[in-house]
Chain A
Amino acid sequence: MEFLDILIVYWPKLLDGALMTMKLTLLGALIAGLLAPSLALFRLRAGAIAQFPFRLYVSFARGTPLLAQMFLIYYGSGQFRPYLQDIGAWQFFRDPFNCALLAFVLNSTAYQTEILRGGLMGVAHGEIEAAKAIGMTHLTALRRVTLPHAYRIAWPALGNEIILLMKASALASVVTVFDLMGQTRLIFSKTFDFSVYIWAAVIYLCLTASFVRIWDYLERRLSPHIHGKRRAALARGRVSA
């Protein structure tokens, strides 16, 4: 069958591409995820003037196409190579993977910060007061009360953001990083067989569907008091409280 032929011949390349896509997405989301909590707290607590540069950065990251941001970082850094070499940063910018990752991290951090800020604002003030009343320090209250609850509230939106990042990773191919989209375009330019795009679509759908399932599973694990088995059994009337 012709439709299958292209998969049989090119599956190693497509697999390489899929692995690169996951690498870019997960690494980008993870680094952004590590930066987001402190930035979200800063965004909530700091004064308006201190916040201004940060709000400018978020507006820029969300108001410009990721494609333009990637070109800016990749070719822009190339233009300034002498200066970058002087400060020893050229080795980093020389690698296209790093440039693409930097663009994704900058983009995802902006979005994740805003999402987490929404989560933090959703934590009832009463909980924080209760934590203080039993003598928790500010940091301990953050660690044991505020942040876990904020993440629980923001969980679905964070999942959405990671999926959007995975789709945006398709743009890495324009700066020579061979993710799934890049491999697909390469195979198409060799064979002109349209079915390779269909296979790429199938693989992307599998990746996003699996991720959604994992994310939903984690959500149930993180909030057993809302989604847990015992709670569900209670609702069904099988177990007495």
Chain B
Amino acid sequence: MLELFSYGDTGWGDELAAGLSVTLQLALATLPVGLALGFLAAACTLSRRRPLKLLGAGYTTIIRGLPELLTLFVVYNGLGLALNALAQWWNPDGGPLELSPFIAGVVALGLVFGGFSGEVLRGAFQALHPGQIEAGQSIGMKPHQIFIRIKLPQVWRFALPGLGNLWINLLKDTALVSVIALDDLMRMTKIAVGVTKQPFVFYLAACCIYWICCVASEFALAGMEKRANRGIRRA
């Protein structure tokens, strides 16, 4: 049975490894996009202007209320149609634009991550002590200095557990892109099952690979939390 997983032409080991690489690439590419959207959403929700507040709250509520699979289909089918319409309007004679499924996956998963992390970051920003910000202002710090030197390190510490959970969910959600034909680990597993007719072995192997990635992430996150909380006295 182990020869099923060997590298080379007869075994599926190299295909699964390639799939894992795509999975990790997808997750790592989505992280900055999702975090950026999360910060934007948190900024909108915390803003004093009503329309921005509605925009931020609307975005996080809708994204958190929809199944990720549905979001993925909407982005995959809808974004392609929208981009083509845009391209046609911009340049009616020119050739059509191409949207890779990887980018569709990054956008969809990034939107989901942004919606959830927006709420986590909002909670973190709200937990900041206003006295510290006043202190920064009183010694003449500019707003962006206050943000980088005072707000951000503390927000990082407060938000890390929540963001860590979201990262692990992101790793698992990448399995959904197999449904839109991106060659990630889940999809390569399905192909292997289709050829070898051994579903139990391969799906169990896929589960274990995801499991190892998640456990490794949990260890790394625990280490990061320890470092972020260094010097803080616990109640």
Binding site for B on A (CB under 8 A): 59-60, 62-69, 71-72, 75-76, 78-80, 163, 167-171, 174, 181, 184-185, 188, 194, 197-198, 200-201, 204-205, 208-209
Contact B173–A65 (Cβ < 8 Å):
yes
Contact B186 A68 (CB under 8 A): yes
Q: Quote the shortest CB–CB distance from A224 to chain B (angstroms).
A: 27
Contact yes or no, B211 A59, CB < 8 A: yes
Decide: B65 and A68 in contact? CB cutoff 8 A: no
**In contact, A204 and B65 (Cβ under 8 angstroms):** yes
Given contacts A63-B214, A181-B67, A200-B70, 4 further A-B contacts (CB under 8 A): A72-B204, A76-B199, A167-B67, A197-B74
Give chain B residues whose Cβ lies under 8 Å from the Cβ of A163. 65
- Known contacts A68-B175, A68-B186, A79-B198; A60 and B207 CB within 8 A of each other: yes
Residues in B with CB closer than 8 Å to A69 are: 207
Query: Is A72 touching B200 in the complex (CB atoms < 8 A)?
Result: yes
Residues of A within 8 A of B67 (CB): 167-170, 181, 204
The interface centre, meaning the residue of B65, B68, B198 with most chain A CB atoms within 10 A of its CB, is B65
* B66 contacts A by Cβ under 8 Å: yes
Tell whether A63 pairs with B211 under 8 Å between CB atoms, given A68-B206, A75-B199, A194-B77: yes
When the two chains form their complex, are residues B210 and A75 in contact, meaning their CB atoms are under 8 A apart?
A: no
Given A197-B74, A208-B65, is A68 in contact with B203 using a C-beta cutoff of 8 Å? yes
Q: How far in angstroms is the closest Cβ of chain B from A206?
A: 9
List the 9 closest A-B pairs by CB distance, nearest first.
Answer: A75-B199, A63-B214, A170-B67, A65-B175, A76-B200, A167-B67, A65-B172, A72-B203, A208-B65
Measured between beta carbons, the chain B residues less than 8 angstroms from A64 are: 172, 207, 210-211, 214
CB neighbours (8 Å) of B222 from chain A are none
B66–A75 touching, CB < 8 Å? no
List the A side residues contacting B189 at CB < 8 Å.
Answer: 68
Interchain nearest-CB distance for A142 vs B (Å): 28
Are B200 and A60 neighbours in the complex by a CB distance under 8 Å?
Answer: no
A-B residue pairs in contact (CB < 8 Å), sample of 24: A60-B211, A63-B215, A64-B214, A65-B173, A65-B175, A65-B186, A68-B186, A68-B189, A68-B206, A72-B204, A75-B200, A79-B199, A167-B66, A170-B68, A170-B70, A171-B69, A174-B179, A181-B67, A194-B77, A197-B74, A198-B74, A201-B74, A204-B65, A204-B70
Identity of the chain A residue whose Cβ is nearest the Cβ of B174 in the assembled complex: A65
**A108 to B36 CA separation, bound complex (whole angstroms):** 31
Residues of chain B lying within 8 A (CB to CB) of residue A170: 67-70
Q: Do residues A197 and B78 form an inter-chain contact, with CB atoms below 8 A?
A: yes
**Distance in angstroms between the alpha carbons of A3 and B231 in the assembled complex:** 58
Q: In this complex, what residue of A is CB-closest to B197?
A: A79
Q: Does the CB pair B68–A71 fall under 8 Å?
A: no
Q: Which residue on chain B has the smallest CB distance to residue A185?
A: B73
Contacts of B168 in A (CB 8 A): 62-63
The residues of A that contact B2 with a CB separation of less than 8 Å are none
Q: Report the separation of the CA atoms of residues A78 and B204 in the bound assembly, to the nearest whole angstrom.
A: 14
| Shortest Cβ distance from residue A159 to the other chain B in the assembled complex, whole angstroms | 13
CB distance from A232 to the nearest CB of B (A): 23
Across the interface, B203 reaches (CB within 8 A) one of A60, A75, A171, namely A75
In the complex, the chain B residue whose C-beta lies closest to that of A184 is B70
CB-based contact B207/A201 at 8 Å: no
Which B residues are CB-close (under 8 A) to A204?
65-67, 70
Given A68-B206, A72-B204, CB of A205 within 8 Å of CB of B214: no
State whether A79 and B172 are in contact (beta carbons under 8 Å apart), knowing that A65-B186, A181-B67, A201-B66 are contacts in the complex: no
Judging by beta carbons under 8 Å apart, are A67 and B176 in contact?
yes
**A198 to B203, alpha carbons, bound, how many Å?**
32
C-alpha spacing A67/B204, complex, angstroms = 12
Contact, CB under 8 Å: A197 / B70: yes
**CA–CA, A171 to B210, complex, Å?**
18
B207:A68 contact, CB within 8 angstroms = yes
Q: Closest residue to A77 on the B side, CB-wise? A: B200
Q: Is B31 an interface residue (CB 8 A)?
A: no
Distance (Å) between the CB of B82 and the closest chain A CB?
Answer: 10
B99, CB-defined interface residue at 8 Å: no
Query: Chain B 120-132, CB within 8 Å of chain A: the 1/0 string?
Result: 0000000000000
Q: Are B62 and A205 in contact (CB under 8 A)?
A: yes
CB neighbours (8 Å) of A80 from chain B are: 200
| B221 CB-CB contact with A under 8 Å | no
List of A residues within 8 angstroms of B178 by Cβ: 67
Closest A residue, CB atoms, query B73: A197
